[in-house]
Chains A and B, each alone.
Chain A
Amino acid sequence: MPLLYEGADWDFGTLKRVYDAMGEIALGELGLDIYPNQIEVITAEQMLDAYASNGLPLMYRHWSYGKHFAQNEALYRKGYQGLAYEIVINSDPCISYIMEENTMTMQTLVIAHACYGHNHFFKNNHMFKEWTDAEGLLDYLGFARDYVSKCEERYGLDAVERILDAGHALSAQGVNRYARRPKPSLAEERRRQDARLQHEQESFNPLWSTVPTGRKGTKGAKAAEEEAIRARLNLPEENLLYFLEKNAPKLRDWEREILRIIRLISQYFYPMKQTKLMNEGCATFVHYEIMTRLHERSMISDGHFLEFLHSHTNVIYQPGYDSRHYSGINPYALGYAMMADIKRVCTEPTDEDRAWLPEIAGNGDPYGTLRTAWAEFRDESFILQYLTPKVIRDFRLFAVSDERVEPELAVSAIHDDEGYRRIRRSLARHYELARREPDIQVSDADLLGDRRLILTHTVHDGITLNRSTAEKVLGHVRDLWGFPVRLTEVDARTGTPLGIIEARAA
Chain B
Amino acid sequence: MNVVDRRRNPQGKSMANRQRFLRRAKDQVRQAVSEAVSRRKVSDINSSDEKVTVRAKGVGEPSFALGRDGDREYVLPGNKKYASGDHIPRPEDGDGSGGGSQASDQGGGEDEFLFTLTREEFLQVFFDDLELPDLVRKTLAETKSSQPARAGYSVSGTPSSLNVVRTMRNSLARRIALDRPRRDEVERLRAELEAAKEAGDPDRIAEVRERLEAAARKSRAVPFIDPVDVRYNRFERVPKPQTRAVMFCLMDVSGSMSEFRKDLAKRFFMLLHLFLETRYEHVAVVFIRHTEVAQEVDEDTFFRSRETGGTVVSTALEEMLTVQKARFPTSDWNLYVAQASDGDNFGNDSEYCVSLLETRILPIVQHYAYIEVREGGEGLRASFDSDLWRHYGAVAERQKNFAARKVTAPTEIFGVFRDLFSKSNARAGA
Contacts and interface: CB of A to CB of B under 8 A. Distances in A.
Interface in B66-89: 66-80, 82-89
Contact of B4 (A41, A53, A61): A41
Nearest to B76: A321
Interface string A406-445: 0111111111101100010011011000001110100000
A473 B63 contact: yes
A326 interface: yes
4 tightest CB-CB pairs across the interface, nearest first? A320-B78, A66-B21, A463-B70, A469-B107
B62 A46 contact: no
A69 B18 contact: yes
A459 interface: yes
Interface stretch (A224-232, A293-301, A352-360, A390-398): A390-398
B86 A411 contact: yes
A173 B100 CA distance: 20
Interface stretch (B6-14, B231-239, B259-267, B377-385): B6-14
Contact of A39 (B1, B79, B104): B1
B2 interface: yes
A48 B14 contact: yes
Given A41-B5, A466-B107, A469-B108, A64 B73 contact: no
B114 interface: yes
A29 interface: no
B149 interface: no
10 contacts: A46-B11, A100-B7, A161-B20, A169-B62, A172-B63, A401-B72, A402-B97, A409-B88, A410-B86, A412-B73
A209 to B, nearest CB: 36
Interface in A156-207: 157, 161, 165, 168-173
B80 A396 contact: yes
Contacts of B426: none
Among B23, B70, B73, B85, chain A packs the most CB atoms within 10 A around the CB of B73
A41 B62 contact: no
Contacts of A450: none
Given A402-B71, A463-B70, A465-B66, 12 more contacts: A48-B14, A49-B13, A52-B14, A61-B20, A66-B16, A169-B62, A319-B78, A329-B77, A400-B88, A413-B84, A437-B103, A469-B108
A43 B6 CA distance: 8
B4 A400 contact: no
A452 B75 CA distance: 41
Given A328-B102, A399-B73, A438 B64 contact: yes
Interface string A105-119: 000000000010000
B243 to A, nearest CB: 38
Contacts of A161: 20, 24
Interface of B: 1-7, 9, 11-14, 16-25, 59-80, 82-90, 97-100, 102-104, 107-108, 110, 113-116
Nearest to A462: B70
Given A36-B1, A66-B20, A466 B65 contact: yes
Contacts of A427: 75
Given A395-B78, A400-B97, A157 B23 contact: yes
Contacts of B98: 321, 326, 328
B104 A63 contact: no
A62 B63 CA distance: 16
A20 B2 CA distance: 11
B114 A506 contact: no
How big is chain A's contact interface, by range?
A: 35 or more
A320 B82 CA distance: 13
B113 A74 contact: yes
Given A66-B14, A398-B82, A329 B64 contact: no
B110 to A, nearest CB: 8
Given A74-B114, A172-B63, A400-B73, A468 B99 contact: no
Contacts of B59: 63-64, 67
Given A63-B20, A69-B17, A402-B97, A438 B73 contact: no
B70 A506 contact: no
B83 A404 contact: no
A364 interface: no
A262 to B, nearest CB: 12
Nearest to A416: B84
A70 interface: yes
A396 B79 contact: yes
A222 interface: no
Contacts of B78: 318-323, 326, 395-396
Contact of B62 (A16, A418, A506): A506
Contacts of B79: 321, 396-398, 414-415
Contacts of B19: 66
A299 B95 CA distance: 47
A408 B14 contact: no
Contacts of A319: 77-78
Contacts of A463: 66-67, 69-72
A93 interface: yes
Given A43-B7, A74-B114, A414-B82, A402 B73 contact: yes
A244 to B, nearest CB: 14
Contacts of B71: 401-404, 461-463
Interface in A1-57: 12, 15-16, 19-20, 36-43, 45-46, 48-49, 52-53
Nearest to A414: B84
A427 to B, nearest CB: 4
A327 interface: yes
Contacts of B22: 66
A162 to B, nearest CB: 12
B21 A63 contact: yes
A400 B20 contact: no
